Chain A
Amino acid sequence: MAITLTDEVVRNAVDTAALTRRLRGLRRKGQMRALLLIAPLMFFLLAIFVLPIGMLLTRSVDNSEVALTLPNTVNALASWDGATVPDEAIYAAFAADLKASPREDVAEVAKRLNYYETGMRSMLLKTARTVRNAEASYKDAFIAIDEQWGTPRYWRILKQAMPELTDFYLLAALDMSRNEAGAIAAVAPENAVHVDVLLRTFAVSASVTLLCLLLGYPLAALIARSQGAVANTLLILVLLPFWTSLLVRTSAWVVLLQSRGVVNSALAWLGLIDPSQPLELIYNRIGVLVAMTHILLPFMVLPIYSVMKSIPPVYLRAASSLGAPPLSAFWRIYLPMSMPGVSAGGLLVFILALGYYITPALVGGPRDQMVSYYIAYYSNQVTNWGMAAALSAILLVAVLILYAVYNRIVGIDRLRIG
């Protein structure tokens, strides 16, 4: 009897294991099929989104040019103490590197060193040109080109620029740098621009988000309360701006807001302003806020509308039957219930606004340019990929932090976009 029972137990155990295996196999098959279906999208995203952005972001810490161009110098300087004048071996290694490298590579290194100390570029190019024909002793040859080569200063800068990874760009993006001793310090106030730009970017984005909320919330409420054809027409009007290009919409504001534009003419005709002193509505902060609010408004209205649409009117009736006057019913019931839409719209508008480039560039003044403008400036005009990447990285990190804070306070599962 006992034996049969044991057999039974064993057989059951085996069956269970086999069943679990089979179930797992079936589930995996289903998952594989699902993965296969989204594989094209995954590859597409990987190839044109994740990969390029990742590569660009690595540029913010990449510093391999100097080490690649000057391999011997890197080795020779590794054992140097940084305080005394280097010996002949180091001069010889540097000369050998300069002789062996193509001009373009040396130019790259020279540009790179110029970030640390203005004037290094032309000095190094001159040195490289002259040293190509020089013989030992190289120390004398270098000092003959520039007396500074006889002091540890230039060599320290060179050594500082050697490592393959650098925090130089990231620090610069936050208006900081390492001094000669290697400690992090703020740059001189007259050279500090980036923190200002980052703060300005956040301030403009926050203002635009607030303006969109103030304008968009009542509009969304109106659409949610309208019925049938009226609601449809209003929704189409909200979406209408999407049918024209961003550039056209922005340029339209130039026509409207310029000193002899439609708005100023109308105000002058009404006698509200003196025609000889038109209001300055464009190429300043006002222009940026007006144009960006107009462009981003739909992104605020649509999520709020979709949430409001799902709030049954019975809640407001319930509130008023319980003694809540209309204003209290709105504050205590309707607003909290529409909050998921407000936070979704707010997050959407804020994040979109952070990356705005064209609109501030067209309708803003020099003091209204946002961080994207500087990213474009560094990547298109002065080809400083390191700075462009560092600013992008800082913007990205700021957004991620914001998102995390938001998730902590509001909870991302409460977000409702569509």
Chain B
Amino acid sequence: MNERFIAFEGVRKSYDGKSYVVRGLDLNVARGEFLTLLGPSGSGKTTTLMMLAGFEAPTHGTITLDGNRIDSVPPHRRNIGVVFQNYALFPHMTVGENVAFPLKMRRLGKAETTERARRALDMVRMASFDTRRPNQLSGGQQQRIALARALVFEPQLVLMDEPLGALDKQLREHMQLEIKHLHGRLGINVVYVTHDQSEALTMSDRVGVFNDGTLQQIASPHALYEAPANPFVATFIGENNAISGEVVELAGQNCRIRTADGSVIAALAGDGLKQGARTTLVLRPERITLSPPPGSPNRFTAKIEELIYHGDHLRLRVKACGCDDVRVKVPAAQAQSFQASGTDIAIGWAPEDCRALALA
């Protein structure tokens, strides 16, 4: 497998000549990989995608695709499929003409054009909509056509810029699966931009988290969730209880943290953690258990501040370890025993479910 199918090297981008939107990006993507770029708006993820598509030129650095430098190749010669947020189907053409457009641009024969356009429409199960106009289709249908159009010329790489942003929740989840299956079946590369973290986690082989123009961490969804590299990634991916404290003991992989109220928490040590330094803990709400057996590590008394009902689970906001806002996710099956806020309960978690991160 070619580990450097796509490579960004020292790529920087500035629009106004004063500040960088993307500041120093090094990124390698393997062939056939589904990579998602995740981040809040303005984090540089879309600019990165646009540079890959060729709509923006990097101010510094190089981009290579399959070993060839592409940063000065115009977009129409890059042979990269792009699916846009609002689909960008040409309104004056029928669905069939839209899908045949890239083939026509490549001067394919009439018979082959028709055949390949039909196959692409079949692939997204839209063959019967051939003669409709885009504005006669629903959002999900338009999305499928846009997908067919980006895939019909069999590009090695397809870029998707928040393609599901305009769909409702159910359709979005359905389309997520469909795109994932298409990727698996065609064996192409997909670079996908989204600000929806659950979308990123469910679809990708790897996720790159952007913030403030830099790549914070790039890892598999599992590693990203379980071992976030820094507090930003920890808060951005999933829910997090950011309890802060001071490192009082550091022994290899393990450490002990003293919080503001004097509680001492046993945790895993993140990279670069130093004795005596300030730190932030990563502790997922679903990893906190209620009424752990006495004597187990990390057992604390907590005061219930608020109970929030979520149907399949219950959320507690409790005060513990000197932090007012510790969230606990309780499955519905264990939720009966709670009466009201103001009660004191015992909470706890395993030291390996909790990670102390070095502050930048």
Q: What separation, in Å, do the CA atoms of A312 and B55 have in the docked complex? A: 14
Evaluate contact between A321 and B80: CB separation under 8 angstroms: yes
Chain A: CB-nearest residue to B161: A314
Query: Do the beta carbons of A320 and B74 come within 8 Å of each other?
Result: yes
Indicate which residue in B82, B86, B90 contacts A321 across the interface (CB closer than 8 Å): B82
Whether the Cβ atoms of A315 and B90 lie closer than 8 Å is: yes
A158 at the B interface (CB under 8 A): no
> B169 — which chain A residues lie within 8 A by C-beta?
none
Query: CB distance A324 to B101 under 8 Å?
Result: yes
Contacts of B149 in A (CB 8 A): 322
Q: Are B102 and A323 in contact (CB under 8 A)?
A: yes
Whether A324 and B81, one on each chain, are in contact in the complex, defined by CB atoms closer than 8 angstroms, is no
What 0/1 pattern do residues 57 to 74 of B give for CB contact below 8 A with A? 000000000000000001
Q: Nearest Cβ in chain B — how far from A417, in angstroms? A: 19
Q: Does A333 contact B (CB under 8 A)?
A: yes
Which of B55, B78, B106 interacts with A317 by CB under 8 Å? B55
B105 partner, pick from A312, A315, A322, A337, beta carbons under 8 A:
A322
Q: Would you call B81 and A321 a contact (CB within 8 A)?
A: yes
**Cβ < 8 Å to B, chain A residues 318-348:** 318-326, 328-329, 332-333, 336-337, 339
Q: How far does the alpha carbon of A333 sit from the alpha carbon of B105 in the complex, in Å?
A: 12
Known: A323-B79, A323-B106. A314 touches B91 (CB 8 A): no
Q: Does B132 contact A (CB under 8 A)?
A: no
B123 CB to closest chain A CB, in angstroms?
Answer: 17
What separation, in Å, do the CA atoms of A317 and B46 have in the docked complex?
14
Contact A320 B75 (CB under 8 A): yes
User: Which residue of A314, A321, A333 contacts B76 across the interface (Cβ within 8 Å)?
Assistant: A321
**A76→B105 CA distance, assembly (Å):** 81
- B50 closest partner in A (C-beta): A317
Chain A CB count within 10 A is highest, among B74, B77, B90, B91, for B90
Contact between B88 and A323 (Cβ–Cβ < 8 Å)?
no
Query: Secondary structure of the A side of the interface?
Result: helix
B79 adjacent to A318 (CB under 8 Å) = no
**Taking the complex as formed, is B34 at the interface, i.e. its CB lies under 8 A from any CB of chain A?**
no
Q: In the assembled complex, which residues on chain A have CB atoms less than 8 Å from the CB atom of B88? A: 312, 314-315, 317-318
CB neighbours (8 Å) of A321 from chain B are 53-55, 75-76, 78, 80-82, 150
Check B76–A325 contact: CB distance below 8 A: yes
Known: A317-B82, A337-B92. A324 touches B55 (CB 8 A): no
A321 to B102, CA, bound (A): 9
The CA-CA distance from A325 to B106 in the complex, in Å, is 10
In the complex the two chains form, is A323's CB within 8 Å of B153's CB?
yes
Task: Give CA–CA (A319, B84) in the complex, Å.
Answer: 11
In the complex, are the beta carbons of B55 and A322 less than 8 A apart?
A: no
Residues of B within 8 A of A339 (CB): 92
Neighbouring B residues of A329 by C-beta, 8 Å:
76
Q: Given the known inter-chain contacts A321-B76, A324-B76, please indicate yes or no for A314 contacting B153, CB distance below 8 A.
A: no
Give the Cβ gap from A338 to chain B, nearest Cβ, in Å.
10
CA distance A332 to B55 in the complex (A): 19
Known: A315-B90, A328-B105, A333-B90. A323 touches B84 (CB 8 A): no
Q: List 16 A-B contacts (CB under 8 A).
A: A314-B86, A317-B82, A320-B74, A320-B76, A321-B53, A321-B150, A322-B105, A322-B149, A323-B77, A323-B102, A324-B76, A324-B105, A329-B76, A332-B101, A333-B90, A336-B92
Which 5 pairs show the lowest CB-CB distances between chains A and B? A318-B88, A322-B102, A323-B105, A321-B82, A320-B75
Which A residues are within 8 Å of any B CB, using their own CB?
312, 314-315, 317-326, 328-329, 332-333, 336-337, 339
